[in-house]
Amino acid sequence: MMTLIINHKKYELDLKGNETLLEVLRDHLGLTGTKTGCEESECGTCTVNINGKAILSCVTFACALEGESITTIEGLAKGELLHPLQQAFLDHGSVQCGFCIPGMIMSAKALLDKNSEPTREEIDYALDGNLCRCGGYPKILEAIWQAGREMKKDQELKDIVNESIELSESVSAKST
Amino acid sequence: MATMVNKEYVNPVGKSVPRIDGKGIVTGQTKYAFDVSFPNMLIGKMIRSPHPHAKILSIDTSKAEKLPGVKAIITAKDTYNIKFGSNEYFFPHTVDQMAIESEKVRYVGDEIGAVAAIDQETAEEAIKLIDVKYELLPHVVDVEEAMKPGAPQIHQSMNNIAVILPVNFGNVDRALKEADYVREDRFYTPAAHQAALEPHVCVGQWEAFSNKITLWASSQAPFKCREALAKTLKMDLNDVRVIKMAVGGGFGGKLEMLPMDFAACLLSKKAGGLPVKICYNREEEFLSSRRKHGMIYKLKSGVKKDGTLLVMTGEVIADGGAYCSYGPTVIAAAIMRIFMVYKIQHFRISGYRVYTNTSISGAMRGFGGVQSGFAIESHMDLLAKGIGMDPVEFRLKNITTPNMVTINKMVLTTNGLRECIEKATQAAGWKEKHGKQKHLCRGLGIGIAADVMGAKMYKSHESAGSIVKVEEDGSVYLFTGAADTGQGSNTALSQIAAHELGVSYSRVRCKAGDTEITPFDTGSFASRVTFISGNATKRAANDAKKQILSVVVEELKLNIDDLNIIAEQVVNAKDNSVVMSFDKALELCYSFNYGRQIIGRGSYNPKTTPVDFRTGEGNVSGSYGFEAQIAEVEVNKETGEVKILKMWDAHDIGKAINPQSVEAQIEGSLVMGIGYTFLENLQFDKKGRPANGNLANYRLPRSMGMPAMESILIETNDPEGPFGAKGMGEASLLPTSAAIANAIEDAIGVRIKELPITPDKIIKALKEKEEQENQEKNEK
Amino acid sequence: MLLNPVKFHTPKTLSEALQFYGSLDHVKLHAGGSFLLNSLKLLKRKGVKTPANIISLHKVEELKGISIDQEKLTIKSMTTIDELFDFPQLEDNFNVFRIVCRNISTQPIRNMATVGGNLTCRYTWTEMPAVMIGLEADLHFMGSDGKSQIIPAEEFFKNAARTDKILTHVTIKRDKKATIAYRRVKKSPYVDIPLLSTFLKTYFDRGRFTNTRVVINNCVAFAQRDHVLEDFLNQNTCANGIAQEALDHLDKTIYSTRSSDYKQHMFRVSIKSALEELIKSSKHSNK
């Protein structure tokens, strides 16, 4: 038995050893948001995040991932509240047939979590593993820039809030 | 310029409202046929021929049947041996494929049976245990070899030519003599693959007690699939249900029933009703689904000194693979597109659709127009060069106009081609840049195209039907047979329904492509959905509106012609004063006194004339779309690499129902066109198997290197289209390769006539140009 | 299932990994995994027998990390390509890794693929062999008998990358005097060449080329040195036109094997361009 942490949830699984992460997600756990487009690490539709990095689940052994934090497309929205990337993809019309979208969003998320203001070149390199056969790249780029701006704003707000919490804690500590 | 989403949902036509199905996609919740799974579901696999051409002598499945976990095996003896095809209406003799072949196999991968088992391993193991005896026959892979007398005969047709289309108008021989400048060119466009990210996949289930089948499909044409299943399984249409799930891309490859659809249903029947899922892996996708026709395009044309395009002659040889599929109409479309674009009086091109022992060529986005677009638009530039005329001026001299009938009887009504060319050239700075950037190895090139908005290809009619149902709480259902494969038809049709009905887009839910619930629709092809299904939807919404208004009229003793519904209000049609709210009107409909359900229906079959494929005459479409495309390139003469700096696409779309979606279609087509120009080349080995049949070797375009793209939408407000809309889905793919090839010639003076344009071809052409210039210098 | 049944081992330490490696039969190491899993899937499809045991190095912390001091750069074998690219102190002769890593495969693969895997997977379409030979790197191995071994990169690849040991780390001596240029043809979106790389390193002594290394990857072998070109350069200075003249002094045998005309052309373009870069940086720094 082993434990996989997917979208902040713990899953106890009895694995044989030869399962790819993609198989575990789709066939064992019913998380079908992550797709299979080629099984040869070329198309990127199986992209998930592991410890914040974009990883192809079709060439990852599930059994090597005990204790590591795995995020799939299903883990991005908080209830009804969409992640800025999901919202941006909708706002910019970046979604056509949609099959590439989960993988595309996960690659973009890994990029934006590290760098919320990427240049065109940086986005091209970050997405070079994700195919979109519908050719939606121009609108996908626009969406990523918008999401980056939103995420930067969110982070700045978070920083302000954290700063004021720290400040009030230090004030109350001094006063006691 | 990128269009942002519009969240004003009232009067939604013309607004970039968000995709109606978008949220499910971005959260990973949307289910594709690929995701469908049931308890006790079996996995099916096709049994395929390892030979390119052979007679099937015997099939022994006895060992495989004994393998534990195998639940059903089918071969030809389990079928009615009924052939199916995609051009049965116009070319009945091209109905040549059986879902499970019984006598002969004609390409490596040809299906001769199928197995359903508890898992994939067992199914694959079972296939290894099946003993098939073949008598090998000689095979032929090269299309020109296949046409020679004495070549191996693949079907019954002589010289392996399935169809000859001799399109002939005017007096070609006399016109060639009268021309001031005549030139001949040979162009080559290779085979390619739709390569949708979601592979072909389906789940079939047979219900014992009702003798009914259900197929969960990834399909662009669920009704066509139903029809073929009913025919080959000898069932009534209403006992076959095809449910189109979300489709992860089709691009022409999912426009017909494939053997897998048939096999999944029959295996389920043989397995006592257990659902059977068949999914092609990427290797099978390239081996045995459908592909683009590789074409050899020979052109010989004559022009007058003043730029009049006098005559065009030539020959098109299309590599059709082992069966016909949509082949004949692809060739027809390739040849006849020119009449939508240029006025030409003398024309003779013969098209040959040839069988080879390779995978099956069918429909791929562009439908023959990509190949002919490259050939003709390159040829036009060369003709212009021959008489020293600017390529744009040359085109403007010869283009079709609004409200004219072409020589082959196509009726062009709205025609924004001139405006497209003018706007595109202006935006690109044609006058300032064309011919003036050679020192920077930069160049501009133009390509123009036209497209049909639907075409009666496989049936006598191509009508679409819609139902608009308004529930008592004011929520709206739109039932449409139209197949959204990502182009956004569910969204656009919902916008049309909402706008016509007079309510907010947010009230509408769309149910599409379920043959049991939604009305008939021929499918997503020939860029037909906005125009044809859109008209059906508008009529259905109008019908629903009239039903609501008739209750109001009855209640208030008014005249129905005096009323309308706009922005969620029933209004006086003359002065838009409010009579009552929409919700109030609905309350009235469902009240005790009336109790009227609101079920609006509409169908639309475009006014066209049958195409006579012997002569090429016929008005194939109810409307035509037009565009002009310009590419600006920069060539690195040392490495042969071509960088596209920018592309402009000016497009006559009648009216943009959803501008953002139209832009996405244009950009998507440009990306696919760029891929076909530089990267995509499906090659075959000596046995006719794809030599590069995987994504590592069949390269697809990625974000890197995609140029800036400017879409210019031109609204000519088509009188026949819903709210003036024509639609688009393919047209921006048609002239791309030529625009780029023309731009390369402008940049460095070399002409590439074979796709893909790879750096080695550029280097070779530059070397040859240098050698020729040196030779000319020496001769002087 | 896409992979054949296998016994999957996840050792937590290097000695545990070595123990498994020494005691199990028919075994394969799992580093990044992209090459391994694609191979296993392909072998299964073809009906070829696949390893019974996989030893994953994912949890062996001793094999992770990059460190640098005045003497050398130490890259542990499970360092990913992306981690190497991101390492902030790639100075002097280590700077070349920035461009090398950037152009390996795609981003998700760069996040998974390891330096060790790239060096030991015995696939000739990999980038690191040529670079390591060029930088005169030392490859450090540990056997299941506990004995360590250091093999210079050039020697290792002359022996077709064969080993029965686990690669633990790579060391490269810091070199402030070397001038390096690297060219890699692949990353244009419109060019479809799997891999074509040229690595040039020289030491300018008052304008003269000395101790030059020219390492190319033609995908035929792991990487090959062009001694003919090296000899020519070592007899010359960076005079005008030397980059063009050098193209007449290539070891023809190593470029032409299984190479199209265009590939050979691109080797010439790459070498000329790399030489021009070397010459420019020598003039800039007055070496």
Cα of first residue to Cα of last residue in chain C, in angstroms, is: 60
Q: Alpha-carbon distance B335 to B371, whole Å?
A: 10
CATH 1.10.3470 fits C7-56, yes or no: no
For residues B541 and B470, give the distance between their C-alpha atoms in angstroms, rounded to a whole number.
10
Pick the CATH number of C179-285 from 1.10.2020.10, 3.40.140.10, 3.20.20.70, 3.30.390.50: 3.30.390.50
Find, among B3, B133, B116, the residue nearest to B55 by Cα: B133
Q: What is the dihedral of CA A145, A151, A154, A155, to 10 degrees?
A: -120
Query: Which residues in chain C are closer than 8 Å to A107, comparing Cβ atoms?
Result: 107-108
Say which CATH superfamily domain A1-75 falls into: Beta-grasp domain (3.10.20.30)
Q: H helices of B30-119, where?
A: 62-66
| pLDDT tops 70 at residue B52 | yes
Residue C188 pLDDT more than 70? no
Measure the CA–CA gap between C277 and B422, rounded to whole angstroms.
45
Query: Residue written as tokens 């399935």?
Result: B162
The tens digit of pLDDT for each residue in B372-394 reads 999 999 999 999 999 999 999 99
Cβ of A61 and C56 within 8 Å? Answer: yes
Query: Could you tell me the residue ranges of all domains in chain A?
Result: 1-75, 77-176
Q: Does the B22-30+463-604 domain belong in CATH 3.40.190.170? A: no
Residue A105's closest chain B neighbor by CA? B26
Best residue of B1, B16, B17, B27 to probe chain A, by most A CBs closer than 10 Å: B27
ipTM value, please give it. Answer: 0.96
Residue B209 has which token pair? 């007690």
Question: Does B29 contact chain A (CB < 8 Å)?
Answer: yes
Q: Any chain C CB within 8 A of the CB of B645?
A: no
Q: Report the percent of chain B where pLDDT is more than 90.
A: 92
Least CB–CB distance from A123: residue in B28, B30, B703:
B703
pLDDT reading at B33 higher than 70: yes
Cα C7 to Cα C54: distance, rounded to the nearest angstrom: 6
Which chain C residue lies closest to B637 (C-alpha atoms)? C269
Q: What is the mean pLDDT of chain C?
A: 92
Task: Determine the topology of domain A77-176 in CATH.
Answer: DNA polymerase; domain 1 (1.10.150)
CATH value of C62-173 in 3.30.465.10, 3.30.450.40, 3.90.550.10, 3.40.50.300: 3.30.465.10
* Ranges of each domain in chain B: 22-30+463-604
Residue with tokens 């990509």, as numbered in its chain: B370
Q: For residue B232, is pLDDT > 90?
A: yes
| Chain centroid offset of residue B58 CA | 39
Which residues lie closer than 8 Å to C6 by C-beta, 6 or more apart?
A17, A18, C50, C51, C52, C53, C54
A120 touches chain B (CB under 8 A): no
Three-state SS for C90?
coil
C1 band by pLDDT with thresholds 50, 70 and 90: low
Position C185 scores a pLDDT of: 84
Q: Nearest to residue B531, comparing CAs of B543, B544, B522, B519? A: B522
Query: Which residue, among B672, B650, B657, has the nearest Cα to B737 in the 3D structure?
Result: B672
Chain C residues within 8 angstroms (CB to CB) of chain B = 1, 45, 47, 185, 187-192, 260-262, 265-266, 269
B212-225 pLDDT, tens digit per residue, is 999 999 999 999 99
The ranges of chain A with pLDDT < 50 are: none
At residue C259, does pLDDT exceed 90?
no
Chain A residues closer than 8 Å to B370 by CB? none
| Contact assessment for residue B684 and residue B641, using Cβ atoms and an 8 Å cutoff | no
β-partners of residue C173 are C72
Distances (CA, A) of A140 to A42, A136, B198, B667: 19, 6, 19, 11
Distance from CA of B285 to the nearest CA of A (A): 10
Given a cut of 90, whether residue C252 has pLDDT beyond it is no
B370 pLDDT band, cuts 50/70/90, is very high
pLDDT tens digits for range B615-654: 889 999 999 999 999 999 999 999 999 999 999 999 999 9
**Hey, which bits of B501-593 come out as E strands?**
508-512, 563-566, 569-572, 578-581
pLDDT tens track for C90-120? 999 999 999 999 989 999 999 999 999 999 9
Put simply, whether B701 touches A (Cβ < 8 Å) is yes
Interface of B with C in 88-147 (CB under 8 A): 119-121, 128
| Structure confidence by residue, pLDDT tens digits, A18-63 | 999 999 999 999 999 999 999 899 999 999 999 999 999 999 999 9
Is B8's pLDDT higher than 70? yes
Residues of CATH 3.30.43 domain(s) within chain C? 7-56
Q: Judge if A1-75 and A77-176 fold alike in CATH terms.
A: no
Instruction: Inform me whether the pLDDT recorded for C193 exceeds 70.
Output: no
Chain A CB within 8 Å of residue B5 CB: yes
Identify the residue with better confidence: C217 or B390.
B390
Report the pLDDT averaged over residues B339-356: 96
Query: What is the rounded CA–CA span in Å between residue C109 and residue B102?
Result: 45
Using a pLDDT cut of 70, give the percent of chain B over it: 100
State whether A17 and C8 contact (CB < 8 Å): yes
List pLDDT tens digits, range B456-484: 767 778 899 999 999 999 999 999 999 99
Q: Are strands A69-71 and A47-50 parallel, antiparallel or unpaired?
A: antiparallel
Position B704 pLDDT exceeds 60: yes
The CA distance from A20 to B717, in Å, is 53
Residues in chain B: 780
Answer yes or no: is pLDDT of B498 > 90.
yes
Q: Per DSSP, what are the bridge partners of residue C66? A: C75
Residues of C in contact with A126 (CB under 8 A): 107
* Interface list for A 144-173 with B (CB within 8 A): none
More confident position, B227 or C189: B227
The reported pLDDT for the residue numbered C190 is 62
Chain C residues within 8 A of A61 when measuring between CB atoms: 8, 30, 33, 37, 54, 56
For chain B, how many helices (H) and strands (E)?
Answer: 20, 30
CA nearest to A91, candidates B722, B617, B19: B19
Beta bridge partners of B353: B163, B318
